[in-house]
Amino acid sequence: MKNLTITRKFISAILLLISSINSFAQTDTIRPVHIGLVYPISSNGVKAAQYTNRFSLHAIAGLSKNETALTIAGAANIITQNAEGVQIVGVVNAIGNSANGTEIAGFANLIKNDAAGAQIAGFLNLSGSSEGLQIAGFSNITGNSKGLQVAGFLNKSKNANAQIAGFINIAKNVKGVQIAGFMNIADSSDYPVGLINIIKNGEKSIGISVDETLTSITSFRSGGRIMYGIVGVGYNFKDSDKSFYALEAGLGAHIPVVRNFRLNVEIVNQALSDFKKGDYMKNTVRILPAYKFGNRLEIFGGPTINYVKYSQDKGFDFVKDFIWSKNGSRDFQGVYVGFNAGIQVNL
């Protein structure tokens, strides 16, 4: 939290500096080249904020009104109005109005209004709106995004086209896909891909299911009109002498057929363990016809294709008949047909 507070203060200071300089830069003179160390030690001197440059190169930091082609600085490019072409900087590109081109920054691209083209930053891309590509090591934050946002941790936008984040995506209305390592949040998103998806006009349900190995799972399914995520915990009841606990995670898709009837197609990874030596891993494709009773209750059940891998001689021989199998020196692998059935309640 302390680091985030420092970052906010730094961004606010940069934007305040741009606004202050911009109020004095009323005239506009075009220069083909601007070279310097740091303001005002440059070829444009103390009037640097009044000049539009085609090419700028600064060892530490450059200041200008507009840039139209290529801008390079060791620490900071401060452009009080508009930037076109390519801006490359070691720390921060700070643009007081709009950008149309490519901004590459070691730390952050800060663009007050519209950003078109591509913004690539080691930590943060911040803009009023975005149309194009945003890639950030930590976060992309913008008003409306009409392109693609890719972030190591967080993407945040009002209306978004497509978002890919290592941890979480946040938006209001999403036209395309949301892909997150953990969570997607939106008012409207038909194609969220994440373990947990909090979609205002989507679906959330709690369910109980059982499969051919007598593993019973209590699961939480959440998502949009089409895509959803699955997380669950459970227990295997096949062997009364041993205690095997289950964890489950996966993705699914609703395929409408007729009113109150649909197919739920799921890809799930399940792990069983007694928390001692030896684990059981199962990857499953499920095709589950489902029927809804009213708006709350749904029953489902159907065939599954399963690939299993488990340690030999650890008591995981739940299935006898395999389509394909392989006995290794330490592990067993096999493919077989099973089933999954259950009931869930929409929240």
Q: What is the pLDDT of residue 172?
A: 96
CATH classification (class only), 203-346: mainly beta
State how far the Cα of 231 lies from the Cα of 21, in Å rounded to an integer. 52
Q: Residue 15: what residue type?
A: L
Q: What is the pLDDT of residue 155?
A: 98
Query: What is the value of pTM for the model shown?
Result: 0.87
- Under 8 Å between Cβ of 319 and 326: no
Q: Which residues of the chain have pLDDT under 70?
A: 1-28, 240, 277-278, 313-315
* Reduced 3-state DSSP string for 286-313: EEEEEEEECCCEEEEEEEEEEEEEEECC
- Count other Cβ atoms within 10 Å, centred on residue 38: 16
Ranges in the chain annotated CATH 2.40.160.20: 203-346
Pairing of strands 76-79, 92-95: parallel
Closest among 100, 163, 95, 160 to 126, alpha carbons compared: 95
Q: What is the pLDDT of residue 25?
A: 45
Q: What is the pLDDT of residue 315?
A: 66
State how far the Cα of 122 lies from the Cα of 278, in Å rounded to an integer. 41
State how far the Cα of 72 lies from the Cα of 64, in Å rounded to an integer. 12
